[in-house]
Amino acid sequence: MSTYQTNTSGDSSVTPQVSLTGVVERITFHSEESGYTVARLQSPRVRELTTIVGNFANIQAGQTLQLQGTWKEHLQYGQQFQVIKYSETKPATLTGIEKYLGSGLIKGVGPVTAKRIVAHFALDTLEIIEQDSDRLIEVPGIGKKRVKMIQRAWVEQKAIKEVMLFLQTHGVSTTYAVKIFKQYGEKSIAIVTNNPYQLSEDIFGIGFLTADLIARNLGVDPASTFRYRAGIKHVLGEAAEDGHCFLPQPELLTAATTKLTTQEHTSTADAVLEVLRTMGVEQELILETVEDVPLYFQPSFFYTEQNLAISILKLLERPQTVDLPRVRNWIERFTQSHKITLSPEQQQAVEMAATQRVMILTGGPGCGKTFCTRTIVALWKAMGKKIALAAPTGRAAQRLSEMAGIEAKTIHRLLEFDPATRGFKRGVDEPLPHDAIVVDEASMLDLFLAHSLIKAVRTDAHLLIVGDIDQLPSVGPGSVLGDLIKSSRIPVVRLTQVFRQAQSSGIIRAAHQINRGQYPTLETISDAPVSDCLWHSGGFEPEHGVQAICELIRDFVPSLGFDPVTDVQVLCPMTRGIVGTRNLNQVLQQLLNPPALEKPQINRGGDMLRVGDRVIQLKNDYEREVFNGDLGVVGSIDSTEHEVMIQFDNREVIYDYADLNELGLAWSISIHKSQGSEYPVVILPLYMQHYLLLSRNLVYTGLTRAKKLAIVVGSNKAIGLAVRQNQVGKRYTRLPARLGGNTSSTIHQS
């Protein structure tokens, strides 16, 4: 029997503590993040259920608990028992044992299996599972495979409980207990005790702040080198999330000193600098001095950026001999036979694709990038080249394939990810076997993916990089497309002419107006919808915007023939706030996928995940072959196996409960996460609440995600501010300089 200390607030010295014993009848609310729980307890010889409130490391219906705490009178909910400490004992009745086993405690045992086990072993059930579990084979319907599963799960849940108790005691969220156990196994407590900051490096979702809380509770000296190193890495990690490949010393010192200062400890720039010097000597960080300014890189960033430049320069070195008159003759015959006309810019791009090893094709919507790319692919086919088409996301690859008429793959599939090595099979030693490669949506390429791709291109192959330079830069670090153009080392064709058939689209007109810094022409939604680009004022307050979005999805969008569940995507500038993705996801989930008896659901990290929900992958998961930004739908939830099935396009992917923090609701997503995707209908809320992030390329990117209809909801002031704001955040990169171009500047302005 283990005793757990809860974190309920309240002055227990004033109100005397009392004891309470009972069986958990049901869980009203349980936060995986904090452990805060509201549950109903059945106490012996008490007719009514008792409401208990406290922080529980792990709680299941059917558990028998001995509680210590105080009685409190809640103004709305009446009398409640505030739990201060609790311990768990084995259930003593057949009903209690059955409910305990069938509560989801053990993977592989649901209510039906629990009933069979208890019917066979009665009050000896738990002792047999603990001491003689091979006898489970005696139970009808349980085979050897299920017995092994139950045995493993029983041992694991016992170990997990110990880990959860330890972590809960030391301030870590129970959400990550299973992940910690899966990462470290029985060594979990030893590793966390020795260096809790290791968690922030090894486990997705546990950052420096959580590790720091654990360390403080364990009594780790706030001036320890462990802590300072972790804090410095954390600052560089936060910078990478903002797109930076490094930080100059002054910014790093300021940020790290602030991060490492607490109420009990004042950090200094000198102390941080001393640890930085040590980390540099030990190669934990790479120091590069440019214009007398020390720049600090995480090693992987430094070497990846350096090697990316080397790979590009090798491609550019290889000479290319082509009969240009013959190419021009082919273009003339092709355009005549297909009754098409190329603009001078497009003609230049097609010729360049034949004569240059590497080239960039950029331009806004309606300027003919797709048409130009299709012509280049046809030329390469005529030249007898083996062609590969790739894009960063599955949806972008699918569009590229439809456009070119040949198969396109995600870059990850093209490079053949190998789960055994957690790396790509294709690279310098085993390059791609293709003579010509098109990579589309190149604005999404971050530093690491670009390096993996380009180092796998043969030095005698052609590489066509296609992307819209006016879109947001990649979610990941670097600004590869912009850096390549800025270096002036790679030939670039920028398409600027908007073709006649595209000029009728309000979305395309508005996008180009925004790019020019002009307030876009948006038809008021109250008028007859003759445009595909509309505006709804949504009131001046964000609360009114939420209401307007719901009314549009519920009433207006269906009136135009669109399915509000499958066709509409709400794109937000940010996650926080009333019209941010977090709040809108809760609101839209209730509107579009409300709870129902036939829809299983699970509460993870305070968020409800329900069958039918649209979800987004939040990190690259190479083993499951799903990647950051992929959208799917919850297909099923198996409470017995502790698994959730997500439908991604035509593929089913299984997640263990412990890995659900890789997923988020996607009824509303950030504009950044929408890159490379298109949706029939886009609703774009823009309010002054978002003013810190409002920018020209943010709105431009969001608007151009719409295929058939874009609706801007918000204030004129916010739209105007976004259009005027063209000074987006700086990204620290050195790629242009490493390519030999623009060496005077260390900072790339995305």
Query: Which segments are annotated as binding site for ATP?
Result: 366-370
DSSP strands (E only) in 505-659: 523-524, 533-536, 568-572, 601-604, 607-610, 614-617, 631-638, 643-648, 651-656
CA distance 133 to 154: 10
| CB contact at 8 A, 104 and 60 | yes
From CA 434, how far away is CA 72, in angstroms rounded? Answer: 72
How many CB atoms neighbour CB 28 within 10 A? 13
Report residue 402 as tokens. Answer: 């439809």
Residue 738: half-sphere exposure toward Cβ, Cα within 13 Å: 22
Instruction: Confirm if 735 and 705 have CB atoms less than 8 A apart.
Output: no
Q: Are 168 and 4 in contact (CB under 8 A)?
A: yes
Q: Which two tokens stand for residue 281?
A: 């000597």
Q: Which residues contact 336 (CB under 8 A, 6 or more apart)?
A: none
Q: Which of 719, 711, 717, 715 is CA-nearest to residue 551?
A: 711
CA atoms of 456 and 516, how far apart (whole Å): 37
Selection from 287, 235, 251, 301 nearest residue 733 by Cα = 301
**Which residues are within 8 A (CB) of 393 and not within 5 positions of it... i.e. 6 or more apart?**
410, 441, 444, 627, 629, 630, 675, 676, 677
534 backbone φψ class: left, alpha, beta (φ>0; ψ -120 to 50): beta
Annotated binding site: 366-370
Backbone φ and ψ of 125, nearest 5°: -55, -55
345-359: string of b/e by CB count within 10 Å (b at 16+)?
bbbebbbbbbebbbb
Q: Give me the residues paired with residue 466 across strands.
A: 361
3-state secondary structure of 685: strand
Bin 51: left if φ > 0, else alpha if -120 < ψ < 50, else beta: beta
As to burial, measured by CB atoms within 10 angstroms (0-12 exposed, 13-18 middle, 19+ buried), residue 400 is buried
- The letter for the amino acid at 111 is P
**Residues 218, 207: Cα–Cα separation, whole Å:** 17
